[in-house]
């Protein structure tokens, strides 16, 4: 059983449609290279230091998102329909 933290998916739903191609490439690398989403969660919440290769503007955006200043309930993965919605 592999437990996946919802933070990267929730971040993607809110941010992918406004990211540049370079940011999308950095995000893709971030979510595909580390061994699991919990590493990303620990880096985003600053529980562990972010490795230099992932310290960039996308990680800064993810750290800001993780602060959850809007106090949104984030208990589950988002539905995937957002991947198929036309961009605005």
Ranges of each domain in the chain:
6-71
Residue ranges of alpha helices (H) inside 6-73 are: 7-15, 21-32, 37-44, 57-66
pLDDT tens readout for residues 51-72: 999 999 999 999 999 887 666 5
CB 13 within 8 A of CB 28: no
CB 3 within 8 A of CB 62: no
d(CA 35, CA 60): 20
pTM recorded for the entire structure:
0.70
For residue 66, the Cα-to-chain-centroid distance in whole angstroms is 9
pLDDT tens readout for residues 20-55: 999 999 999 998 887 777 888 899 999 999 999 999
Greater pLDDT, 18 or 72: 18
What is the sign of the dihedral through the CA atoms of 77, 81, 83 and 88? negative
């Amino acid at each position: 059983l592999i437990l996946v933290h919802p933070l990267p998916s929730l971040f993607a739903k809110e941010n992918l449609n406004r990211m540049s191609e370079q940011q999308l490439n950095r995000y893709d690398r971030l979510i595909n290279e580390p061994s699991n989403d919990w590493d990303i969660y620990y880096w985003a919440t600053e529980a562990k230091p972010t490795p230099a290769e992932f310290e960039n503007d996308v990680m800064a955006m993810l750290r800001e998102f993780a602060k959850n200043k809007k106090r949104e309930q984030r208990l589950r993965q988002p539905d995937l329909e957002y991947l198929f919605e036309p961009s605005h």
